Amino acid sequence: MAITSISALDLRRMLDFAGHKIVAQEAYLNSLDAAVGDGDHGITMRLGFLAIAHALSELDPAAGLDVIFRKAGMSFMGATGGAIGVIFGKMLVAGAGPLHGVQQFGTVEFKILLREMELAVTNTGKAKVGDKTILDAVHAANQAMSDPDAQDMDLASVVSKAAQAAEKAARGTADRICRVGRASRLGARTLGCPDPGAVSFGIIVRAMADWLAESGSTA
Amino acid sequence: MKKIVNNPNDFAREAIEGLALAYPQYIRQIPGVQAVLRRDAPVLGKVTILTGGGSGHEPMFAGYVGRGMADVSVAGNVFASPPPPPIYEAAKSAHGGAGVLFLYGNYSGDVLNFDMAAEMLEQENIAVKTVRVTDDVASAPPELLHERRGIAGDLLVIKVAGARAEEGANLAEVAAAAEKGNLCTRTMGVALGSCVIPASGRTIFQLGEQEIEIGMGIHGEPGVQRGPLKPADQLVSEMAARILDDSPMKVGDEVAVLVNGLGATPLAELLIVFRGLARSLSESGLTIWRSLVGNYVSSLDMAGFSISLMRLDADLKRWLAAPAETPALMQTLDSR
């Protein structure tokens, strides 16, 4: 039986699972960053997701989606620093606003989350789509949600579709020249390397899809 | 690559703790926060100068906390801006009731985090103004001055702002002094080799045995050109020419000079640089008023140096000459 939504507690389990997947990719993410920056993106993501796991473990089991996303975002931001700390932290916090009082995470909530995340990145940084940043992956995932075939899917399929779009966009950043942030000074030297932030976003959404595919049947 | 560390993940925190332990006569650490305050903070009625940024540039930023310079400095991890919460905590701990000037180098990560901390403070009706140092000539053309990076010029601008705040100026006046100091300062750097990032144990770029990079940033960002290593005097005169081309200096102007080592270049080489620079500036009709030569704003163990020039007027001279009591810059009133 395909599921259309999961509980707030399951959402926390899914975020925890995504954190493990990110931590497992630490060395790879560091190596991507070393090509265009100072080589610590994997470390930053690990610190951020460890902080999320710790913060969520202290939450009331009855906490709703808005509390979860705000807590996750603020703890990520507080533990990391750098541009990605604020940008990814604000992406998570942005999910809190429209999900106030909501207890079930389903396709509607997932689409709202992606929409709010894209708005948060756009409003926070100076990046536009195509500038070789995390925005490219977030935008692609969000766009994929308006496809006609994304309308009647179950949650696992919708998240998987978003993951596919995000991963493809993340790979595509390799063909782009970085236009914002510290790496923008590298100009054409950033060609050939995917943006680490975009890759991270793909890993996270893919992990969510995998968790849903495996755990969803028993949920 | 060999490094003297315990756990590389603790690099930034342990460096700040070491600084605070070494210089209790000037500074103290805020418990549990990667930030140091001047010993007698908060100084009531004085505008608070808050600086900070990624670690790895020691003694910048925390080394310039103390009377006459910054009131408080917040350290992020290596080459990464600190997050908003410690910046907010640090500002609250240091605030003397006359507002806070955020003064730091212009990088997108720092801008995002410091701006967010400023918003948090403003929600509590603490006045914040921000001045970002943009002295790096190589990082953007003159028409995009506000997009340039802040590098060694941070030191001169913090000195100016700190002295202005000690004079009892209000927040707008201190910010104006910092802005003036920034606009009068230009820096050009050159790298001979990469630093090694403690967490990865790896270098971040490669240069050939006889190759240098002119205009290199303090995090290893590439500069304007790679080229062959040249005799010191020739290299220095080319760098000075680039700075003078970029700045509104004219014959007869007085300048303050900072020849800054990036961490792995011996002082003797910096002195050879200064010697060549003194000749170049003299030939251009500029008078050196005061100079600093040493490792003031480093980039871990990067080999190379930068040259900063600040074009002076009577105000800037007064502020640069004012006393400073900090771990990395100690001077009594310079009245000559």
Domains and CATH numbers, chain A: 5-213 (1.25.40.340)
Q: Which residues of B touch A189 (CB under 8 A)?
A: 222
CB A73 within 8 A of CB A97: no
Dihedral angle of Cα B225, B230, B235, B237, to the nearest 10 degrees = -130
Q: Is the pLDDT of residue A218 over 60?
A: no
Q: Residue A185's pLDDT is what?
A: 64
From the centroid of its chain, how far is CA A136?
12
Nearest residue of A to residue B75, measured between CA atoms: A81
3-class secondary structure, A136? helix
Q: Which residues of A touch B76 (CB under 8 A)?
A: 81-82
CB A166 within 8 A of CB A133: no
Q: Which domains does chain B have, with CATH numbers?
A: 10-183 (3.40.50.10440), 185-312 (3.30.1180.20)
Determine, for residues B219 and A182 on separate chains, whether the beta-carbon distance falls below 8 Å: yes
Comparing A35-44, A62-71, B85-94, the range with the smallest average pLDDT is: A35-44
Q: Residue A219's pLDDT is what?
A: 46
| Whole-Å CA distances, A175 to A130, A133, A168 | 10, 12, 12
Q: Which residues of B touch A87 (CB under 8 A)?
A: 112
Q: What radius of gyration do chain B's Cα atoms show?
A: 19
Chains A and B: how many Cβ contacts under 8 Å? 94
Q: Tell me how far apart the alpha carbons of residues B5 and B19 are, in angstroms, rounded to a whole number.
A: 15
Looking at the complex, report in whole angstroms how far the Cα of residue B226 sits from the nearest Cα belonging to chain A.
Answer: 13
Determine, for residues A77 and B84 on separate chains, whether the beta-carbon distance falls below 8 Å: yes
Looking at the complex, report in whole angstroms how far the Cα of residue B60 sits from the nearest Cα belonging to chain A.
Answer: 17
Determine, for residues A40 and B204 on separate chains, whether the beta-carbon distance falls below 8 Å: no
Residue-level length of chain A: 219
pTM: 0.92
The sheet with strand B100-105 has its strands ordered as B27-29, B35-38, B72-78, B48-55, B100-105, B128-133
In chain B, how many H helices and how many E strands? Answer: 8, 16
Looking at the complex, report in whole angstroms how far the Cα of residue B330 sits from the nearest Cα belonging to chain A.
Answer: 31
Q: What radius of gyration do chain A's Cα atoms show?
A: 16
CB A7 within 8 A of CB A103: yes
Kindly state the average pLDDT of the residues B310-320. Answer: 98
Residue B244 CB partners (closer than 8 Å, separation 6+) = B284, B286, B309
Determine, for residues A186 and B80 on separate chains, whether the beta-carbon distance falls below 8 Å: no
Q: Tell me how far apart the alpha carbons of residues A175 and A198 are, in angstroms, rounded to a whole number.
A: 13
Supply the DSSP string of B115-156, one letter for each residue.
HHHHHHHHTTT--EEEEEE--BGGGS-GGGGGGSPP-THHHH
* Mean pLDDT score of chain B: 94
Determine, for residues B9 and A80 on separate chains, whether the beta-carbon distance falls below 8 Å: no
Residue B29 CB partners (closer than 8 Å, separation 6+) = B16, B17, B20, B35, B36, B37
Q: Which residues of A touch B83 (CB under 8 A)?
A: 77-81, 85-86
Determine, for residues B77 and A78 on separate chains, whether the beta-carbon distance falls below 8 Å: no
Is residue A44 within 8 angstroms of chain B, CB to CB?
Answer: yes
Residue-level length of chain B: 336
Confidence band, pLDDT 50/70/90 cuts, at residue A216: low
Kindly state the average pLDDT of the residues A193-206. Answer: 96
* Closest residue by Cα to residue A183 from B199, B172, B222, B65: B222
b/e sequence B161-197, b meaning 16+ C-beta within 10 Å: bbbbbbeebebeebbbbbbbbbbbbbbbbbbbbbbbb
Looking at the complex, report in whole angstroms how far the Cα of residue A192 sits from the nearest Cα belonging to chain B.
Answer: 16
Dihedral angle of Cα B152, B153, B158, B161, to the nearest 10 degrees = 180
Which of B9, B81, B149 faces A81 most closely, judged by CB atoms?
B81
Comparing A149-153, B26-30, B111-115, B304-308, the range with the smallest average pLDDT is: A149-153
pLDDT digits (tens, 9 = 90+) for A5-37: 999 999 999 999 999 999 999 999 988 887 777
Q: Is the pLDDT of residue B21 over 70?
A: yes
Which of A38, A78, A181 faces B220 most closely, judged by CB atoms?
A38
CB B85 within 8 A of CB B61: no
CB B198 within 8 A of CB B78: yes
Q: What percentage of chain A exceeds 90 in pLDDT? A: 75
Which of A39, A78, A186 faces B85 most closely, judged by CB atoms?
A78
Q: Residue B126's pLDDT is what?
A: 98
Q: Tell me how far apart the alpha carbons of residues B295 and B292 are, in angstroms, rounded to a whole number.
A: 9
Residue B97 CB partners (closer than 8 Å, separation 6+) = B42, B44, B45
Looking at the complex, report in whole angstroms how far the Cα of residue B173 sits from the nearest Cα belonging to chain A.
Answer: 29
Kindly state the average pLDDT of the residues B266-295. Answer: 98
Q: Which residues of B touch A37 (CB under 8 A)?
A: 204, 219
Interface of A with B in 54-83 (CB under 8 A): 77-83
Q: Which residues of A touch B107 (CB under 8 A)?
A: 182
Q: Tell me how far apart the alpha carbons of residues B43 and B65 are, in angstroms, rounded to a whole number.
A: 13
Q: Residue A108's pLDDT is what?
A: 95
CB A52 within 8 A of CB A43: no
Determine, for residues A181 and B221 on separate chains, whether the beta-carbon distance falls below 8 Å: no
Looking at the complex, report in whole angstroms how far the Cα of residue B299 sits from the nearest Cα belonging to chain A.
Answer: 12
Q: Residue B336's pLDDT is what?
A: 64
Q: What are phi and psi of A150, to 5 degrees?
A: -90, 0
Residue B327 CB partners (closer than 8 Å, separation 6+) = B19, B22, B23, B26, B27, B59, B62, B63, B64, B65, B66
List, in sequence order, every residue forming a beta bridge with B186; answer none if it has no partner: B309
Query: Which residues of B are the active-site residues?
Result: 57, 219
3-class secondary structure, B38? strand
CB A137 within 8 A of CB A198: yes
b/e sequence B198-207, b meaning 16+ C-beta within 10 Å: bbbeebbbeb
What is the dihedral sign for C-alpha B196, B200, B204, B208? Answer: positive
b/e sequence A31-49, b meaning 16+ C-beta within 10 Å: bbbbbbbbbbbbbbbbbbb
CB B78 within 8 A of CB B54: yes
Determine, for residues A78 and B220 on separate chains, whether the beta-carbon distance falls below 8 Å: no
Q: Residue B226's pLDDT is what?
A: 85
CB A41 within 8 A of CB A31: no
Residue B93 CB partners (closer than 8 Å, separation 6+) = B30, B35, B37, B41, B42, B72
* Closest residue by Cα to residue B130 from B49, B214, B12: B49
Q: Residue B222's pLDDT is what?
A: 66
The one-letter amino acid at A44? T
3-class secondary structure, B269? helix
Q: What percentage of chain B exceeds 70 in pLDDT? A: 99
pLDDT digits (tens, 9 = 90+) for B126-174: 999 999 999 999 988 899 999 999 999 999 999 999 999 999 999 999 9
Where on the phi/psi map is residue A77: left (φ > 0), alpha (ψ -120 to 50), or beta? Answer: alpha
> CB-based burial of residue A189 (10 Å sphere; 0-12 exposed, 13-18 middle, 19+ buried)?
middle
Q: Is the pLDDT of residue A217 over 60?
A: no
Determine, for residues B197 and A39 on separate chains, whether the beta-carbon distance falls below 8 Å: yes
Q: Tell me how far apart the alpha carbons of residues B40 and B48 are, in angstroms, rounded to a whole number.
A: 12
Determine, for residues A38 and B112 on separate chains, whether the beta-carbon distance falls below 8 Å: no
Residue B238 CB partners (closer than 8 Å, separation 6+) = B214, B230
Which of B78, B200, B217 faces A185 most closely, judged by CB atoms?
B217
